[in-house]
Structure 1
Amino acid sequence: MLVRVRSKEGTHRIEVSPSDDIIILRDKIAKELKITDSSTITISDQPNAGATPMDSLSGKTLGQLNVKHGDLLYIGFAEAAVQPDTRSSSTVVQDAVDDYLDSQDGLIKRPKDPKFCKHAANGMCDYCMPLEPFDPAYLEEHKIKSLSFHAYLRKLGAHDKKQGTSYITLPSLEEPSYKVKTNCSSGHPPWPASICTKCQPSAITLQRQPFRLVDHVEFSSATIIDNFINYWRTTGLQRFGYMYGRYEPYSEVPLGIKAVVEAIYEPPQEGDSEGLKLEDPIYGEKRADEMAGACGLQRVGMIYTDLTDDGSGKGTVLCKRHIDSYFFSSQECQFAAVMQQKYPNATKYSSTGTFGSKFVTCVIGGNQEGNIDVSSYQVSNTCVGMVDADIVEPSVEPGIMRVREATTDRYIPDVFFKYKNEYNLVVQKDAKPSFPVEYLLVNVTHGFPVKASPMFKSPKDFPIENRVGAFVQDAASLHRYLESGNLVELASNFHFLLFARSMGILNDTDEMNLLVRVALLHKEEDANKLVQTPGWQTLLTVLKESAGSSRGGQGSSSSSGRGAGGSSGASATAPWTCRHCTFLNTHGDENCEMCGLPMG
């Protein structure tokens, strides 16, 4: 039989038998309502009257208690005490810059005003007392459009609770979720069979996000951008790359954070003059992440070109992104949202341990003067939540984001946005079927240091990975690179380190770590230790053999010791597996098509 059970969580239907003990009904109620302590459950046949603990009726069947099919029973229970989330303060590993900014008071110091301050030198008044990092007048005066993340935390009052001399940090952040809850406690069948106000997402009102996780992108050297753009200059094809660097405090914004870019890794891709297509990047990205981690770096964002020569012959480019067209397209918004969700920001101020993302997107395009310029963006947490819930999709018009149509499997909540009409009044408008992408963008500034001090200081350029034509990385290019100068200087190149590791000759435990030390610390004694290692000696031998076979490959086959006549031709065209990278070669060359090393 079915018994209806009503509580503050709603009405539920429990299937039981008249011969069941009431304890069986109690356990089923506790399981259905997820009640931690079942001993606190009380039962009554009237609301708010005559409640009896179910444990006191143990030993009696439902039939003996006159409980029949379809009866409505009223229950109550004590909720478990909410325990503080210790993970937010003990187990969440934040970035070092977040831990540093947590320890700062964030107050904006002001000197004594010579005109209005009438007190002594050690006094203080309203004209010289420090300002909070979220002070609106200060932000407006310095043209800071968005609060820094830690200033936003101060504004929320995350540091207001004090215990002695230390602050109690309480979780106060929650990322928006616009998906239908599948484990609704109201007892109805899950979506799409039915839906209620508890499990359906609330309406969305789009507005500019008041804070940003990263305030500034700093390229440690202009050479990083020049080398990246040079591929477009040479081939006319667009290019994509991942930026590796670190996060540091940014003094230009109260409690600000900047992403310092030290290197750009270019994954496998197929370029075109109008766009590009990324190929399967899993293996290459993993190697790049490991190499960056060995150098103390992490992935901080992505960068790509959107350049078109204007045909003037002056080296200027077209300005396609401006106020009358778009700055960041809807397709780019969706891509940025997917990447930001992939790289969440760890913080102890969220009950889930994460909130937002520090992943930034940089676009290299033309400005209104026809010069090449960089623009940096993030998308809002609302945009990430909407993309994750499959609410929006890119539009044919770049500056417009479409709201998807609701289906039997896709619930679309109401979406609104506000704007000023022709009478300068703020009005609300339905965002269906589309709305401007500006409501999803967060602007991030960018620049270069006044005095450049990059991590990688090699005076020579090493070919960058996954490029074609004259830019290919192979053993011959590595041999020429190592012969062009001093190892202490040449080792300080991210692309050289990445290719040297990919050859698999140097072991990661000792020899590769020693090469990284040479690249970062530039010490002669480390370089001398490296050149004496077996792995480095093997690498040099392989490179010399590769260079010799490349030069001798132009001569007759008899000089290679493989014999003459048809046998040499047959051996040159037969498929063979490279002993260095295991690639199966089907061409007639004696050097591996993948790694460039010789067959023998």
Structure 2
Amino acid sequence: MILRFRTKDGTFRVNVDSGDDFASALHSLGDQIGAQLANVTISTTPTGNKEEATSLVGRKISQLGLKHGDMLFANYDRADQNEEQTVEQELVKANEHVGTTAEQVYHNIKQLPVDDLLDKKDGKIYRKRDPKMCKHGEKGMCEYCMPLEPFDKGYQEEHSIKHLSFHAYLRELDTNTNKTESQSSFMAPLSEPDYTVAKSCPSGHPPWPEGICSKCQPSAITLQQQPFRMVDHVEFANPSIINSFIDAWRVSGMQRIGYLYGRYEPYDLVPLGIKAVVEAVYEPPQQDEADGVTLVLPWENEHLVDRVAGMCGLTKVGVIYTDLMDAGKGDGSVVCKRHVDSYFLSSLEIAFSAKLQKDHPTPSRWSTSGKFSSKFVTCVISGNQKGEIDISSYQVSTSAEGMVTADLIEPSVNPAVMRVKEPTPARYVPDVFYRKLNEYKLAVQENAKPAFPVEYLLVTLTHGFPDEARPLFSSPKHFAIENRGHLGTSQDFQELSKQLGLKNNQSGEDTSLDAISDFHMLVYIISLGILSHEEEKLLVRVAMSHEVQHGLELVESSGWQTLLTIIREST
């Protein structure tokens, strides 16, 4: 008989006999997942009462009342991991033991490919000969046409650059920290802000809260606009990615949240710039409401979705959500809620973004800790001042990350301000200030307690679409998006049959390769647990390359034929 197990890694089928001990089913499940399982709980429904697997071990399958084809829901921890990983997960694992000195970190840390690429570029801003100012010939050079450094102040002012790219900022810091004429050892130019009390103080007094001194207490915090940004631009590979996401609001009037899956690439419009290229939006299980969403972290199937993305060469690059309200004019216009006189990102959203950025750190050989801030972006779809649906892209500053980590700030009922928490015996709160222009246009320093404007924690990015769309997933038909059952669409064999064109082509041999090129469908098929690991890789290869030879291999594989048989019998 066959028992089916629905897990965070997908659905798996286990062959057992009715007289077998339930332990044999668990061993078979672990073998299929490719990992040792720990803390296993079993239930017969997704939200039903969970029983410890240890209480079921020693009992026969028949004694548990299980029949052929029954579906069980299993939760567990992984005692080991032997699966496809996203680029981010691979880097975290590779950077666990890199040493403690600046030189050890520099030589051993494994960075993102885009950072390694930009580290090798000179980043100079090359200029043409100025016919008015240059007095030399075509092959000469003077101060008016010589290349500029990527962090040149004059260039920033001339082009109204609000934030330097991360690598331009890094070059400026490194130039000042590690001077070429100096023979001293390498010093890491970057360090993450730490607003907590040092745990081990050389003064010898009892640790906080019993004792504190000037050596272990954090310095006062002065908030100001961050001069750089980790990502400069967010590029959506295809406008249909956004349209499909907004459709949920158009149908229900409820807000929606999704995770952006893509990759990081150099951005040529900014000196040493970086862009996040978004190839797909995955919508996790959520409770939609008219004024927001309720999301449980970590969400169901997150590990599986990350694994499929890793097979496609993608990783989580950000989060996107809607904040839309129909204007009631009947012309499709929406209310503009976010503007200069209200807020662009609320204090609650900034705290949320800071948490996500801390969960997705950027490894960096230039940092004392081996990591620095994050390239994780936040995109908001809301109404602009013209009443049009528009996208805004943001990150929060390293100060925001540090203050959230140290538990110094909390959201306010006023979305435009962030509250500074009160000190407690367990929480030391340093002095917090921010600079602003007074009524005489002079820069003055203000006390940030009890609250301060949220814009001091905000970093703005640009966004757009490519001139010529070449998305990674190019299916002309869109497979049903996950977790939209309340909207009348669901991922099932009926939808899969429709996507693959099996109603008119029962054999499935002439299925278009383009039809398979859909991220949502890839995740669904792999979650069924029908294909072997090698067949999963082949499926992803077909979806991305569209090569006929790989398509023929997939169609002839036993797992694919089994899938087609199940689809035909279920529809």
Q: TM-score range by the shorter chain?
A: 0.7 to 0.9
1:263 maps to a residue whose letter is: A
What is the number of residues matched between the two proteins? 463
Distance 2:157 2:269 in 1: 14
Residue 237 (structure 2) pairs with residue 220 (structure 1):
yes
CA contact (8 A) 1:162 1:168 kept: no
SS of 1:116's equivalent in the other structure is coil
2:171 maps to a residue whose letter is: R
Instruction: Structure 2: state its 5+ residue gaps.
Output: 1-98, 503-509
Distance 1:503 1:98, change over 3 A: same
**Superposed displacement of residue 440, structure 1:** 0.3
Distance 2:337 2:104 in 1: 47
| Partner in structure 1 of residue 155 of structure 2 | 138
CA contact (8 A) 1:267 1:281 kept: no
| Partner in structure 1 of residue 497 of structure 2 | 479
SS of 2:372's equivalent in the other structure is coil
| Partner in structure 1 of residue 527 of structure 2 | 502
SS of 2:428's equivalent in the other structure is coil
| Partner in structure 2 of residue 65 of structure 1 | none
| Partner in structure 2 of residue 489 of structure 1 | 514
Distance 2:339 2:454 in 1: 14
Distance 1:190 1:280, change over 3 A: closer
CA contact (8 A) 2:362 2:371 kept: yes
Residue 321 (structure 2) pairs with residue 297 (structure 1):
no
Distance 1:263 1:168, change over 3 A: farther
* 1:262-411 map, 5 Å: 262-279=279-296, 281-411=298-428
| Partner in structure 2 of residue 522 of structure 1 | 546
Root-mean-square deviation over aligned CA pairs: 1.8
1:210 pairs with one of 224, 227, 240: 227
SS of 1:459's equivalent in the other structure is coil
**Superposed displacement of residue 90, structure 1:** 2.4
Distance 2:542 2:442 in 1: 63
CA contact (8 A) 1:530 1:536 kept: yes
Residue 537 (structure 2) pairs with residue 513 (structure 1):
yes
CA contact (8 A) 2:260 2:320 kept: yes
| Partner in structure 2 of residue 531 of structure 1 | 555
Distance 1:503 1:493 in 2: 16
CA contact (8 A) 1:268 1:280 kept: no
CA contact (8 A) 1:161 1:169 kept: no
**Superposed displacement of residue 116, structure 1:** 1.6
Distance 2:529 2:358 in 1: 33
Distance 1:258 1:83 in 2: 31
**Superposed displacement of residue 283, structure 1:** 3.7
SS of 2:105's equivalent in the other structure is helix
1:204 maps to a residue whose letter is: I
1:147 maps to a residue whose letter is: L
Residue 213 (structure 2) pairs with residue 196 (structure 1):
yes
Distance 1:116 1:85 in 2: 45
Distance 1:168 1:237 in 2: 57
CA contact (8 A) 1:87 1:353 kept: no
SS of 2:371's equivalent in the other structure is coil
1:513 maps to a residue whose letter is: K
**Superposed displacement of residue 422, structure 1:** 0.7
Distance 1:280 1:471 in 2: 24
Distance 1:358 1:130, change over 3 A: same
CA contact (8 A) 2:338 2:344 kept: yes
Distance 1:370 1:113, change over 3 A: same
Distance 2:477 2:187 in 1: 51
SS of 1:356's equivalent in the other structure is strand
1:505 maps to a residue whose letter is: I
CA contact (8 A) 2:263 2:276 kept: yes
* 1:19-38 map, 5 Å: none
**Superposed displacement of residue 160, structure 1:** 5.3
Identity percentage over the alignment? 56
Distance 2:143 2:209 in 1: 59
CA contact (8 A) 2:284 2:300 kept: no
**Superposed displacement of residue 168, structure 1:** 8.8
SS of 1:157's equivalent in the other structure is helix
1:86 maps to a residue whose letter is: E
Distance 1:515 1:369, change over 3 A: same
2:146 maps to a residue whose letter is: M
Distance 1:169 1:260, change over 3 A: farther
1:175 pairs with one of 192, 216, 226: 192
**Superposed displacement of residue 428, structure 1:** 0.8
Greater length-normalized contact order (CA 8 Å, ≥ 6 residues apart) = 2
TM-score normalised per structure 2 = 0.79
Distance 1:112 1:203 in 2: 48
Distance 2:350 2:450 in 1: 17
2:497 maps to a residue whose letter is: H
SS of 2:488's equivalent in the other structure is helix
| Partner in structure 2 of residue 22 of structure 1 | none
Listed one character per residue, the Cα deviations across residues 30-76 of structure 1 (whole Å, up to 9, x for unaligned) are: xxxxxxxxxxxxxxxxxxxxxxxxxxxxxxxxxxxxxxxxxxxxxxx
Distance 1:299 1:519, change over 3 A: same
| Partner in structure 1 of residue 135 of structure 2 | 118
SS of 1:393's equivalent in the other structure is strand
SS of 2:234's equivalent in the other structure is strand
**Superposed displacement of residue 387, structure 1:** 0.6
2:556 maps to a residue whose letter is: Q
SS of 2:102's equivalent in the other structure is coil
SS of 2:553's equivalent in the other structure is helix
2:544 maps to a residue whose letter is: L
Distance 2:257 2:186 in 1: 40
Listed one character per residue, the Cα deviations across residues 149-180 of structure 1 (whole Å, up to 9, x for unaligned) are: 1100111135955599xx99641111110111
Listed one character per residue, the Cα deviations across residues 215-266 of structure 1 (whole Å, up to 9, x for unaligned) are: 0000011000000000110111110011011111111110000000000111
**Superposed displacement of residue 142, structure 1:** 2.0
